[in-house]
């Protein structure tokens, strides 16, 4: 098992444990079983999606920033899910713009030497680089 796979697996375990703790606290606070169980499942699902996004960032850029964001945001609560998802979305936008010669994508801007989006000449869009492996978010990464 590679280090990246180990980090991803441990992050998923962390998401399950954090979600389980929140589930137990909700039941102890008198919340009904149905809503607490639904929230438990959604917290696990969101944690798994966030971890997959972090893995995609790692594969695309070589950076562990996605895993760091997930660790700092935490798991198992709606607040942690909102913070972690928003931070990963922003990081994915930044990471994809750093990996692409087109800025934030071929339809939003052109390379700086062509003058930007309002340039008279817009070169044809280039495909995003493929970094190998199937991804939960598509064949080439989070935005593909």
Rounded Cα gap, residues 117 and 32, in angstroms? 53
Say if residue 130 is exposed, middle or buried (CB neighbours under 10 Å; 0-12, 13-18, 19+): exposed
Which one, of 39, 46, 47, 36, lies nearest residue 12 by Cα? 47
In degrees, to the nearest 5, what angle opens at C-alpha 77 toward C-alphas 50 and 68?
A: 40
The predicted-structure confidence for 24-80, as pLDDT tens digits, reads as follows 999 999 999 999 999 999 999 999 999 998 998 888 888 888 899 999 999 999 999
Share of the chain above pLDDT 70, in %: 65
Token look-up 């992050």 returns 11
Question: pLDDT at position 63, please?
Answer: 84
Question: pLDDT at position 3, please?
Answer: 86
The whole model's pTM is what?
A: 0.65
H helix runs in the chain, sequence order: 3-28, 33-61, 65-73, 78-99
If you ran DSSP here, which 8-state letter would residue 129 be given? Answer: P
Question: pLDDT at position 43, please?
Answer: 94
């Amino acid at each position: 098992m590679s280090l990246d796979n180990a980090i991803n697996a441990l992050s998923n375990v962390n998401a399950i444990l954090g979600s389980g703790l929140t589930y137990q606290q909700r039941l102890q606070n008198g919340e009904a079983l149905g809503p607490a169980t639904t929230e438990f499942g959604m917290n696990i699902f969101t944690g798994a999606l966030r971890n997959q996004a972090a893995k995609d960032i790692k594969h695309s850029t070589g950076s562990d920033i996605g895993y760091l964001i997930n660790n700092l945001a935490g798991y198992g609560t709606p607040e942690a899910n909102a913070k972690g998802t928003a931070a990963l979305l922003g990081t994915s936008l930044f990471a994809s713009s750093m990996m692409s010669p087109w800025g934030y994508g071929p339809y939003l801007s052109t390379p700086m030497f062509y003058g930007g989006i309002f340039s008279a000449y817009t070169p044809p869009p280039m495909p995003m680089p493929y970094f190998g492996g199937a991804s939960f978010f598509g064949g080439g990464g989070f935005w593909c």
